[in-house]
Amino acid sequence: MNPDLRNLIALQDLELNIASLQKQASEIPNKKQVLENELERIRSEYDREVVRLKDLANQRRALEGVVDDRRAKLSRLKDQLMTVKTNKEYTAMLHEIQMAEEQIRSEEDKILEIMEETEDMEGDLRKAEQEMLKRSGEIQEEIRKTDESVPRLESELERQREEKAAMESTITTELLAQYRSIAKARKGVALAEAKDELCSACHVRIRPQMYAELLRTDNIYICDSCSRILFHRDNS
């Protein structure tokens, strides 16, 4: 294989690797933000359930206070019942006592409902806490690994950039300029492997004569369809 062409292949491999590493590096802040957002969401959901449980406890205490007040009122009404002097007053007082007892039963039913809901929520919250701690640990580990990958990526990028500069210096100015021009027009891919009489980039069949010459000579050939520089690995 033509030595310049061999070096061009190595250069393109380096540049594609560099582009891939740069893409990885550019995605790290967004990846980390996604992880942090998920972590915040998980914790917020758990915190909302904790607040809801506290709200239920507050509702229960408030209702228990209401029941205590109503019981005190009921006790006073029963005491007053013994002092009434007319049937009309007695009937009215009985009705008021009955209303107070119904209100107490209603409030006590609400308290029981809250107690049942609280019991269910406490069980769910214990499971949610375990799940939150587990997932939070996993996410924090992912964030840690993401942070640790940054210096490794930067180091590898620097190494490959140095290798790229060294490789560029081995290629003739004219061929390198041609390579750059094609790469610019073809999204960074200036070379394409010729395999089974096809250009691997555009998948168009290569002229038989050109393909035969490509296999047996060191000349540089251009794909008639996509204008990329062709190479054949089996000839390397």
Q: Which helix (H) or strand (E) holds 198?
A: strand 198-199
What pLDDT digit, counting tens, does each position of 2-26 carry? 888 889 999 999 999 999 999 999 9
* CATH classification (class only), 3-171: mainly alpha
Q: Which residue has the tokens 């917020």?
A: 44
Q: Where are the alpha helices (DSSP H) in the chain?
A: 3-81, 87-168, 173-185, 208-216
What is the pTM (predicted TM-score) of this model? Answer: 0.65
The residue extents of the domains of the chain are 3-171, 174-235
What pLDDT digit, counting tens, does each position of 46-96 carry? 999 999 999 999 999 999 999 999 999 999 999 888 888 889 989 998 999
DSSP letter for 86, please.
S
